A and B are shown apart, each in its own frame.
Chain A
Amino acid sequence: MASITIDGVNKIFGKTPALKDISLEIRDGEFMVLLGPSGCGKTTLLRCVAGLEQVNGGRVKIGERDVTDLAPRDRNIAMVFQSYAVFPHMTVGGNIGFGLRMKRRPKPEIEKRVREGAELLGLVPFLDRYPAQLSGGQRQRVAVARALVMDAPVLLMDEPLSNLDALLRLQARADLKRLHKEVKRTTIYVTHDQVEAMSMGDRIAVMREGAIEQLGAPMEIYNNPASQFVGGFIGSPPMNFLRGAIRDGSFAGDGFDVPITRMRGDLQGREMVLGVRAEHITIAGEGIPAHVMVVEPLGSHALVTVLVGKTPVKVQAPIDVAVRPDQAINLHFDEATLRWMDAGTGSAIQR
């Protein structure tokens, strides 16, 4: 088993910096998710750990071993590719055992471990089939099995679920989480899907423009986003933001005035952004005036989109909520749940 140390890694494509001085410590056996929008550098960072990209600066260590200058095959890692990269000219069994054959393990050992890998992922009936005869979900499992039988202490996954349909993705997500509990490999998992990140990660590194914007446990990131970007990226629906300024015990902006009891004195008059989650807003008899735009019943609850001033705000309401579009209502914010960001930089402010 092994930890992974990424120390000041830089990567430049042509003149575009893809990774800016990234440092990240991944603990032994940890499931680390790299999360961010496309182009944020998450896949590049993973490929730098894999050795499929050369870093332009910084070091990568696996355990105590500096692997920065080693070829991928010498790093003792396994990887699941986004496209799966399951070889079409080999059977399922041939694919699962590929890495072991390349490492020239004895035949009986290969057979035994291919069998174990196939059992772990429910692929035993398909061992003699070719990938073209499998469904997308089965091919994805072949890719996972091929990586797991390697017994490499480090497992890298590059959006392994993005090519599956929604229902299958839900199933595969739970399967991968169960597998991780069983095999306890140190895992780096790249995704742009914040639900995947929340549900699977021990910790999440939220990336933006080649840098890590926030690193933390899923609920920590959800509850205390380090910036407006993170709050807007994590959670479905994303966090609501209202722009305004603190004046005489209340936070006021276009069309609203929220009474605030506790706030650092030096923030008086400063332009700020208030962040509030949909589930922390209640529809009340009095409070902030809002105009209902859309009501979406979602089974377990209803999602109500309202306008506060000119800003759309999403409110999570009970499914039997009695509001209709064009109705004027009032919202109540629980002060303890409110988050504050600087209006200019977007970074979080402690009050």
Chain B
Amino acid sequence: MRARTERFLPFALLLPSIGFLGLLIVIPMVQALLLAVMAEGGGLSAENFQRMFADVNFSDAWRNTLLLLILIVPLQLVLALCMALLINSRFRGHGFFLYIYAIPLAISDLAAGILWLAVFTERGYLNSTLQNAGVITQPILFLSFDNLGGILTAIVIAESWRATAIVLIILIAGLQLIPRDFFEAADLFGANRLRRTVHVVLPLLRPSLQSALIIRTIFAFQTFAVVFALAGRNMPVLAGEAYTWYATNRNEHIAAAYAVLLLGLTIVATVVYLRVLGLREAEVQR
């Protein structure tokens, strides 16, 4: 009786999270897959994907999504790494900085987008500050549809502000897992700060870098709310197209095709990260 309980207990304990994931992730995912490969009249078809690829906004959305990913993810990683190393050096008052850095974590992405809209818009904080300071006489249209560079910069700033904290938290947790002795041994055996970071800290931080990169890349593919708030339809992105096709064009099939494309991209990126940054078998401590 007891052996039996012990055998089933782990499964019983896993059941709630399996149920949760199944209900909220697996079922919608399967539904999206089905929607994407079904023609409007019923029956299997590649028609939805063909229409998606042929859409006027598709190439822009594709380019913008990759552009944002390439600009935002490395920037966030480097920023978060610097901030994490700074906090981990335990200077006086490092706890205060951690709290400051972590504040954006509590703000939803749409709210963050609107907040930054208030900064960058024609009569926003940035323009009024510059005008009051006498730097400019006329407000600059940062977010104008023909100012792609301005829109891109605003989005990169807003996204970095909003989502660097999650990378930071993951990296700080990772740094704290590295025994102090490794830092001290590196110091003692002649490494300066930079070489210590390159030769000892970063390699030991690989598992955390991997998690952070996977999470950030997935979210970068899904970038939507901040873009929508700052640029509206002036800057189409893949996740935004899925929303538009679903909510505005009322075509759930093509919306689902976009979602499946994003899923595919996410899986490819994750596999690459796992392969490139994974620990070799021989390095894993028993």
Q: Which residues of A contact B (CB under 8 A)?
A: 50-52, 71-73, 77-79, 81, 83, 85, 87-89, 98-99, 101-103, 129-133, 146, 150
Given contacts A83-B181, A89-B279, 14 further A-B contacts (CB under 8 A): A52-B187, A77-B188, A85-B179, A87-B182, A88-B283, A98-B189, A98-B199, A101-B199, A102-B186, A102-B190, A102-B191, A132-B284, A132-B285, A133-B282
Q: Which residues of B contact A78 (CB under 8 A)?
A: 188-189
Binary flags per residue of B171-196, CB closer than 8 Å to A gives 1, else 0: 00000000101101111111110010
Contact with A along B261-286 (1 / 0, CB 8 A): 00000000000000000011011111
What's the least CB distance linking A78 to chain B, in Å?
Answer: 7
A182 to B6, CA, bound (A): 57
The verdict on B28 contacting chain A, using a C-beta distance below 8 Å, is: no
Question: Judging by beta carbons under 8 Å apart, are B204 and A99 in contact?
Answer: no
Does B200 lie at the interface of the complex (its beta carbon under 8 Å from any beta carbon of A)? yes
Complex alpha-carbon distance, A50 and B181, angstroms:
13
Interface SS of chain B: helix
Q: Which residue of B lies closest to A82 (CB)?
A: B181
A73 to chain B: closest residue by CB: B190
Alpha-carbon distance between A281 and B206 when the two chains are bound, in angstroms: 62
25 A-B interface contacts by CB (under 8 A): A50-B188, A52-B188, A71-B187, A72-B184, A72-B187, A73-B190, A73-B191, A78-B189, A81-B181, A81-B185, A83-B181, A85-B185, A87-B185, A87-B203, A88-B283, A88-B285, A98-B199, A101-B199, A102-B189, A102-B190, A102-B191, A130-B280, A131-B285, A132-B284, A132-B286
Flag B20-41 by CB within 8 Å of A: 1 or 0 each.
Answer: 0000000000000000000000
Task: Select the residue from B185, B206, B286 with max chain A CB neighbours within 10 A.
Answer: B185
Chain B proximity of A126: nearest CB distance (Å): 12
* Bound complex: CA A333 to CA B280 (Å): 65
Which 7 A-B pairs have CB atoms at the shortest separation, nearest pair first?
A99-B189, A102-B190, A85-B181, A85-B185, A130-B282, A89-B203, A72-B188
A residues less than 8 Å from B187 (CB atoms): 52, 71-73
In chain A, what residue has the closest Cβ to B284? Answer: A132
Q: Note all chain A residues with C-beta closer than 8 A to B190.
A: 73, 99, 102-103
Q: Cβ of A102 and Cβ of B195 under 8 Å apart?
A: yes
Which residue of the partner chain B has the closest CB to A104?
B190
Question: Which residues does chain A contribute within 8 Å of B284, judged by CB atoms?
Answer: 132
Taking the nearest CB of chain B, how far is it from the CB of A73, in angstroms? 5
B65: min CB distance to chain A, Å: 34
Let me know if B182 and A85 touch, CB within 8 A. Answer: yes
- Establish whether residues B199 and A102, one from each chain, have CB atoms under 8 Å apart when the complex forms: yes
* A73 adjacent to B181 (CB under 8 Å): no
Residues on A with C-beta less than 8 A from B192 are: 73
Bound CA span A50–B186, Å: 13
Q: Distance in Å from the Cβ of A154 to the closest Cβ of chain B?
A: 11
Interface residues in B149-183 by Cβ distance below 8 A to A read 179, 181-182
Q: How many whole Å from A96's CB to the nearest CB in chain B? A: 11
CB-CB nearest in chain B for A91: B282
CA distance A52 to B187 in the complex (A): 9
Structural contact, A87 and B200, CB atoms closer than 8 A: yes
Q: Which of B283, B285, B286 is packed against the most chain A CB atoms within 10 Å?
A: B283
**A13 CB to nearest chain B CB (Å):** 15
Q: Across the interface, do B280 and A81 meet the contact criterion of CB distance under 8 Å?
A: no
Say how far A235's CB is from chain B's closest CB, in angstroms.
Answer: 32
B109 shortest CB reach to chain A, Å: 36
Q: How far is the CB of B196 from chain A (nearest CB, A)?
A: 9
**B195 CB contacts on chain A under 8 angstroms:** 102
**Which among B179, B185, B186, B283 is the interface contact of A89 at CB below 8 angstroms?**
B283
Q: Is the CB of A129 within 8 A of B185?
A: no
